[in-house]
Amino acid sequence: MSTHLNRSFAILALASSLAASGALAQAAKDPHAGHDMSKMQMPSSSKGAKPGKAHVMVMTLDASTPADGATVKGSPANLSLTLSHAMVFRSVQLRTTAGQRVPLNAALPTTMVKTVTIPVRPLSPGQYIVEWRAESGHEMVGSFSFTVQ
């Protein structure tokens, strides 16, 4: 009886091990493995996308300077964007709420980073929107806004 029980435990342990390694192998293939998916959503334009095609996920930043929704006294010297995991920032754009683009004169890093800091020329009082795009096997986009007094 005890031999039969030991074999049952051995089979159960082997099955658990195989299942776990399969899950790990699947996670290694999953570009979203290790990402906090609660901060991400599919934009409406990608709903109904064809299977197998690249998709864009909307993601909130872990942190930004200025903070999303903040009102700052005087123009910030820099914009800082921090992601939950390292990615390659492909673009960061600054616009007024009227849609006017504010030039940013900084080269983005070409390697995967969690944080990017970009110098900003003096900004006039008003509300601004920062839009960004980054990728690491999949594309993430997001935006935040702030007001300069």
Three-state DSSP class for residue 26:
helix
Residues paired with residue 135 on neighbouring β-strands, in sequence order? 88, 139
Instruction: Report which of 132, 36, 58 is spatially closest to residue 88, judged by C-alpha positions.
Output: 132
Q: Which of 36-40, 74-78, 133-137 has the lowest mean pLDDT?
A: 36-40
DSSP H helices, 2-139, are 2-29
Instruction: Report which of 134, 127, 113, 117 is spatially closest to residue 60, judged by C-alpha positions.
Output: 134
In whole angstroms, what separates CA 80 from the centre of its chain? 14
Q: Which CATH number fits domain 37-148: 1.20.58.2240, 3.40.630.30, 3.40.50.150, 2.60.40.1220?
A: 2.60.40.1220
Q: For residues 14 and 63, which has the higher predicted lDDT (pLDDT)?
A: 63
Q: Band the pLDDT of 50: cuts 50, 70, 90.
A: very low
80-125 pLDDT, tens digit each? 999 999 999 999 999 999 999 999 988 999 999 999 999 999 999 9
DSSP H helices, 1-149, are 2-29
Question: What number of CA atoms fall less than 13 Å from residue 130's CA on the CB side?
Answer: 28
Confidence check: pLDDT of 12 > 60: no
Compute the distance between CA of residue 61 and CA of residue 63 in angstroms, rounded to an integer.
5
Tell me how far CA of residue 33 lies from CA of 23, 63, 139, in angstroms: 11, 21, 14
Q: What pLDDT shows up at residue 93?
A: 97
16-33 pLDDT, tens digit each? 443 444 443 444 444 444
Token output for 107 = 């080269």
